Chains A and B, each alone.
Chain A
Amino acid sequence: MGKNSKGAPAAAKRAAGLNKEPELAKVNLQDGSAIKRALDEAATEALTSSGYTEDHYVSNVKIAVSLLLCSLAATAQFWPQKYPQNWLVLVVCVVLYAVGTAGLSLFTSTAEGDAFLFLTSKNLGQAGQLRVTSQLPRFTYFYKLTIATTEAPAASSELSLDVTHFFTEEGILVRPKFETEVQYLLTSLRSKKGQ
């Protein structure tokens, strides 16, 4: 009897280790950005399993443009001629790099902004894209999650949560509770869109 009760927590720990479930990952409750990250990831999982797929357009553009800029820099660095014979190549690369970097910043701030997730509907008859943004201002406990459509008809739903209601003292996110809130947000958006 005594042996069993001692063995149970150890067995649970072993089982958790074997599964390596991300739900059991501890979050440092002093770190606001870690809390926001954990909530964003949980929201992403909840939304992508409700009939929506992640739209990678913004992320693809960022990766492609970054790779382009890096290859510009590589050209400038590894061009076979030495300075000053290669000055034209240098000028072209530097100017294009500056323009490209500025353009990428502009694109990121306008297209992405606060958003951490873009969704397209898979098959549920809803048209258009969704944009999911979140804020967790410093030194506050209120996490605001917003889902908005990016095309007409414009609709958005937001949710303000007290993060202390969703984390245990050890820093584990209570997923089912959070996912319920996310689902509620989704249904309220759908009703606003007049589904």
Chain B
Amino acid sequence: MIGAIKAQVQSTIDEFTSMNFRQLLLQGTNLGLIVTSALMIWKTLILVTGSESPVVVVLSGSMEPGFYRGDILFLNMGTAPVRAGEVVVFSLDGRDIPIVHRVIKVHEKSHEDLDILTKGDANYGDDRALYNPGQKWLQQEHIMGRVIGYLPYVGQVTIIMNDYPYVKYGLIGALAVFVLTSKE
């Protein structure tokens, strides 16, 4: 078994060394095109939905029983003002990870000037405990999008890759080797 793996690794290495520089460049740019085309599709999705992050994974159980950890959510921003009852994804200044909760209060001074309060369905209290110190309300610009659809369970893969980074590196490495050595 180990012998077979060693043989496979050796043959992969041989394939690399047997390619001349030009072929390596061609295969490398091929890999680059595959990666960048995925990236550009993502960017197009950002432009179309108007949301900074059109697809998010639910990381916590604060919205149960509506959304569970590992669900994938599809977001759209739209131009309508935020209203109470909508499930939104917002990001706080200085934090990377966006949060998915429901809007429970909206104070509207004008269409552009809103004070928004959110709360997770399964949480006891509202989100003021999560906001930055001294912040009592969210503004429109903190809202990244409204939830317009979801896929259950599919996001577990992302969570596993987040919790165990070596899985992520291993997968990407294997994919890269596969593309670079395929001579199609």
Contact = CB atoms under 8 A, between A and B. Distances in A.
Interface of A: 22, 33, 37, 56, 59, 62-63, 66-67, 69-70, 72-74, 76-77, 82-84, 87, 90-91, 93-94, 97-98, 101
Contacts of A101: 33, 37
Interface residues of B, number: 21
A91 B36 contact: no
Interface in B18-51: 18, 22, 25-26, 29-30, 32-33, 35-37, 39-40, 43-44, 46-47, 50
B183 interface: yes
Contact of B26 (A22, A63, A82, A97): A63
A83 B52 contact: yes
Given A33-B183, A70-B36, A101-B37, A63 B43 contact: no
Interface string B53-75: 00000000000000000000000
B29 to A, nearest CB: 4
Which of B30, B35, B47, B184: most chain A CB closer than 10 A? B47
A59 B22 contact: yes
A22 B33 CA distance: 30
Contact of B32 (A37, A66, A83, A84): A66
- Chain B interface secondary structure, helix, strand, loop or mixed? helix
A98 B18 CA distance: 33
B52 A62 contact: no
- Chain A interface secondary structure, helix, strand, loop or mixed? helix
Given A70-B36, A91-B47, 15 more contacts: A33-B183, A59-B22, A62-B26, A66-B29, A66-B30, A67-B32, A70-B33, A73-B40, A83-B46, A84-B52, A87-B47, A90-B46, A94-B40, A98-B40, A101-B33
A87 B44 CA distance: 10
A170 to B, nearest CB: 16
Given A59-B26, A63-B29, A73 B39 contact: yes
Contacts of B35: 73
9 contacts: A56-B22, A63-B29, A66-B30, A72-B36, A73-B35, A76-B43, A83-B52, A90-B43, A94-B47
Which of B18, B33, B52: most chain A CB closer than 10 A? B33
Contact of B36 (A59, A84, A97): A97
A122 B162 CA distance: 57
A82 B183 CA distance: 38
B40 A97 contact: yes
